[in-house]
Amino acid sequence: MATSLGSNTYNRQNWEDSDFPILCQTCLGENPYIRMTKEKFGKECKICARPFTVFRWCPGVRMRFKKTEVCQTCSKMKNVCQTCLLDLEYGLPIQVRDTGLSVKDEVPRSDVNKEYYTQNMEREIANSDGTRPVGLLGKAPSSSDMLLKLARTTPYYKRNRPHICSFWVKGECKRGEECPYRHEKPTDPDDPLADQNIKDRYYGINDPVANKLLTRASTMPRLDTPEDKSITTLYIGGLGEDVTDSELRSHFYQFGEIRTITIVQRQQCAFIQFATRQAAETAAEKSFNKLIINGRRLNVKWGRSQAARGKEKDGVTESGIRLEPVPGLPGALPPPPVSDEDASTNYFNLAPTSSPAVMNLGLPPPPGVAMPPPPGFGPPMFHTMDPMAPPMPPPMAMRPPGQVHYPSQDPQRMGAHATRHGGP
């Protein structure tokens, strides 16, 4: 919005005139000898609609030219870059940062309220030292665990690449390698990341990039504090063979008094017991997914009480996770019968047949009652007519007391007659 000095000068004192933009390291580029063009009152701010000084530059070789999109006042109110509108400290969208810091900064949207709010923020910015954000953001906590995990620690220069050549997509680009745009296949138009709005990003609503990061943060592992207040022990896994007792103590002593440190070298883990529960909670919060000793990232978990170790039964762990059955193992045995009537002798689960496969042997008769001889050892069913045959043995009940009948001594057995009468 270029205007001459002799034209309407109404409210021109609120126009912004700056000597250098507020940029993040990614937008600035990796070239330390960058060249910029400066256009005083070149465009309107896309948030507050006030003219401001526009800067334009090329961040690197084979990169597209970039320029500032919002004024420095709007940038300072949200502590964001003037070009990409990402947070200057964490490199994250405003919606993600405000969610992590539990900040709800309602910026007015109407023209009159927006102008009044901007003037108050400019007055607060002028009275501050410029080292910390202003408004609700300056009163928020200094850091958040979620933001530290999602924050980008190195510049992402791939974001400065040129846009995709629309002529190449249609097969009509004739520049070849001299084309300043990318010759690549475009992304899916139904992808939410393909529809981004600069105002939605600034106000922190309906930002597809922020929604993607928040979804990733919700699926990240976290360490829940156990309800049992008597647990003051932390489990440290993945030690390897190089981590010693002194190295663990040198890291964890800063969180509170350590009672004992037990290293199980066979399982490459350690148990650190603190004197107080507060010290254990602080150590777990500061060390979870952040503990690196001798170049190894160690796993930090809460220890379990003795009573909780016996709760893992019926295939369900203490945390409520159901364990999958191991394939190849036999199933559970059938429950025993409830009453005596349901009891059976079929212990091998054999199919029922017409003739029983198992012989049920009865109990011996009481004294004085004759028991029938086994099959094949009793007297014959008919009397022989041979006069030379030996006499029949008396029945068991008519034998004199004290005489015991052994089947091997039965004269009717095979070979007994030949031995008795066929001998010399």
The closest alpha carbon to 18, from 66, 74, 60, 59, belongs to: 74
Mean pLDDT, to the nearest integer, of 227-248? 88
The position carrying tokens 């530059």 is 57
pLDDT (0 to 100) of residue 190 = 75
- Residue 183, both tokens: 């010759």
307 pLDDT band, cuts 50/70/90, is low
Q: What are phi and psi of 279, to 5 degrees?
A: -65, -40
pLDDT (0 to 100) of residue 218 = 81
| Plot region of 204 (φ>0 → left; ψ -120 to 50 → alpha; else → beta) | left
Q: What percent of the chain has pLDDT over 90?
A: 25
pLDDT above 90 for 417: no
pLDDT (0 to 100) of residue 8 = 47
pLDDT (0 to 100) of residue 179 = 93
pLDDT (0 to 100) of residue 108 = 80
More confident residue, 275 or 328: 275
For the purposes of burial, counting CB atoms within 10 Å of the CB of 75, is it exposed (0-12), middle (13-18) or buried (19 or more)?
Answer: buried
d(CA 395, CA 58): 124
d(CA 146, CA 98): 11
Mean pLDDT, to the nearest integer, of 285-312? 77
Lowest-pLDDT range of 77-91, 116-130, 203-217, 262-276: 116-130
Task: Give the range with max mean pLDDT: 162-176, 240-254, 409-423.
Answer: 162-176
In the chain, the amino acid numbered 418 is: A
Q: What is the DSSP letter of 407?
A: G
Residues 5-23 have pLDDT tens digits of 444 454 566 688 888 999 9
| Plot region of 102 (φ>0 → left; ψ -120 to 50 → alpha; else → beta) | left
In the chain, the amino acid numbered 71 is: C
Residues 316-331 have pLDDT tens digits of 555 555 666 666 666 6
Mean pLDDT computed over every residue of the chain: 77
pLDDT (0 to 100) of residue 217 = 83
260 pLDDT band, cuts 50/70/90, is very high
Domains of the chain, residue spans: 10-220, 233-304
| DSSP 3-state of 274 | strand
Residues 334-393 have pLDDT tens digits of 766 655 555 556 666 666 655 544 444 455 666 665 666 665 555 555 555 556 656 666
CATH match of 233-304 with 3.30.1490.100: no
N residues, the chain: 424
422 pLDDT band, cuts 50/70/90, is very low
pLDDT (0 to 100) of residue 388 = 63
pLDDT above 80 for 211: yes
Is the distance from CB of 284 to CB of 234 less than 8 angstroms? Answer: yes
More confident residue, 365 or 69: 69
Mean pLDDT, to the nearest integer, of 30-41? 90
Helix axes 208-219, 94-101, angle to 10 degrees: 40
The closest alpha carbon to 60, from 83, 34, 85, belongs to: 34
More confident residue, 33 or 356: 33
Lowest-pLDDT range of 24-33, 65-74, 146-155, 341-350: 341-350
pLDDT (0 to 100) of residue 358 = 47
37 pLDDT band, cuts 50/70/90, is very high
Mean pLDDT, to the nearest integer, of 168-197? 86
Mean pLDDT, to the nearest integer, of 26-45? 91
Q: What percent of the chain has pLDDT over 70?
A: 66
Residues 91-143 have pLDDT tens digits of 999 999 888 888 887 778 777 788 888 888 888 888 877 667 777 676 666 67
